[in-house]
Amino acid sequence: MNIKHPKHEQTLVIIKPDGIARGLVGEVIRRYERAGLKLVAMKMMRATPDLIEKHYTLDPEWRRVTGEKTIMGYLDKGLKPPVEDPLQVTAILLGRLVKYMTAGPLVPMVWQGAHAVQIVRKLTGGTEPLMAAVGTIRGDFVIDSYKMTDDDDRSIRNVVHASGSVKEAQDEIAHWFKSNEILDYVTVHEKYLYDPEL
């Protein structure tokens, strides 16, 4: 098996507590499944605050990048961000995220296929549902904004988490799953998506 082939790329998705409470588990899975991606791991669980905090800080750059993205989200709309320092933004955000992600059960999953990370991000949509494209999960199922969540002192509720890069996906998959929980099997899609001899 050539494990360098792009069809082996894997990414982590977590259906967040709002997605489960709103009965969107099947809808979310359907969207990734129908694109041709292969579900190779899945479970339902409650997370501890520690597991969530570690998940979001696996990437040492996450605090800066997410803080900057939030500030840009305000500036692009001609609004003044409540805090100017990106690291201060994420310090506040992390507390809100832990509260949100431990508010109910989660469904972590691993999806596999060519360009899995990028394809899943595309189908998931941008972080802020107000700006997420129509046709994406966050664009179709959520009405939420940075402004509203800052005013209400809570996290953006956007139904799913999806890894942002191949490196992030590798670290996150190892954080949520043991290697023997990731299963190897064949789907009919694979022949039609990847077989060069078809």
Calpha distance 32→51 (Å, rounded): 25
Under the binding rule (CB under 6 A), the answer on residue 136 touching ligand ADP is: no
Under the binding rule (CB under 6 A), the answer on residue 156 touching ligand ADP is: yes
Under the binding rule (CB under 6 A), the answer on residue 146 touching ligand ADP is: yes
Does 161 participate in catalysis according to the annotation?
Answer: yes
| Catalytic residue, candidates 55, 115, 161, 189 | 161
Q: How many CA atoms lie within 13 A of 53 on its CB side?
A: 9
158 binds, among Mg ion, ligand ADP, none (CB under 5 to 8 A by kind): ligand ADP
Query: For residues 57-96, which are near Mg ion according to CB under 5 A?
Result: none
For the bound state, the minimum distance from the C-beta of residue 162 to Mg ion, rounded and expressed in Å, comes to 8
User: How far lies 181's CA from each of 22, 51, 110, 124, 184, in Å?
Assistant: 27, 18, 10, 24, 10
DSSP 3-state of 41: strand
Stretch that binds ligand ADP, among 17-25, 29-37, 104-112, 149-157 (CB under 6 A): 149-157
User: Considering only CA atoms, which of 132, 110, 113, 109 is closest in space to residue 20?
Assistant: 109
Query: For residues 44-73, which are near ligand ADP according to CB under 6 A?
Result: 66, 69-70
Residues near 172 by beta carbon (within 8 Å), at least 6 away in sequence: 12, 55, 58, 163
The footprint of Mg ion on this chain (CB under 5 A) covers a number of residues equal to: 1
Residues that bind Mg ion (CB under 5 A): 164
Active site residues: 161
